[in-house]
Amino acid sequence: MNKELLLKNLRSIHDFPIPGILFRDVTSLFKSAECMQELDNTLYEMYKDCGITKVVGIESRGFVMGAALAVKLGAGFVPVRKPGKLPAETISETYYKEYGTDTIEIHKDAIDENDVVVLHDDLLATGGTMLAAYNLVKKMNPKKVMINFIIELEDLKGRDIFPKDAQIDSLLCLDGE
């Protein structure tokens, strides 16, 4: 993986969405064809031999590379969304995050016991959103669940809230500051 390319194209925005936060903006990676190809190829190489049957993308930035990875792996794509956005019957999970509480939903029939799942999102900060998604997927009893992020803010220790046996992979490990 060409980390220099990705880091050179990653935008950091001070005091967004609130004062004191340094926001790592992956949309600057998505607008570059070269970065998109680098992300796509790297993710594929990580998971090509894992038997993935479903890629679960977290709203909304997790949809971009999650869907691309699903296509490349020949797997299905499952969106995790905010309440009221999915049309069929859902299950939901409410969780705490950096700025308050939130809820996410997944279609009740999206995953089954034969699936091998990788959950994907753009960034691991405190981990609340992904832990909620992980808990939702685990309720469906798939064979295996893996977790992937483009960026992990290591100093925020988000991975510490996950079970010790959770497989978590991050492409870029950075400080939150």
Ranges of each domain in the chain? 50-174
Out of 59, 98, 154, 159, which one is annotated catalytic? 98
pLDDT at 134: 98
Would you call 61 a catalytic residue per the annotation?
yes
Contact 66, 55 (CB under 8 A): yes
Cα distances from 107 to residues 18, 67, 75, 173, in angstroms, run 32, 16, 17, 31
pLDDT mean across residues, the chain: 95
CATH fold group of domain 50-174: Rossmann fold (3.40.50)
Options 24, 38, 61, 152, the catalytic residue: 61
Secondary structure element (H or E) that encloses residue 9, with its range: helix 3-9
38 as an active site residue: the answer is: no
List, for residues 27-78, the tens digit of each pLDDT value.
Answer: 999 999 999 999 999 999 999 999 999 999 999 999 999 999 999 999 999 9
* Full-model pTM: 0.95
Q: How many CB atoms lie within 10 A of CB 105?
A: 22
User: Angle CA(21)–CA(31)–CA(14) in degrees, nearest 5?
Assistant: 15
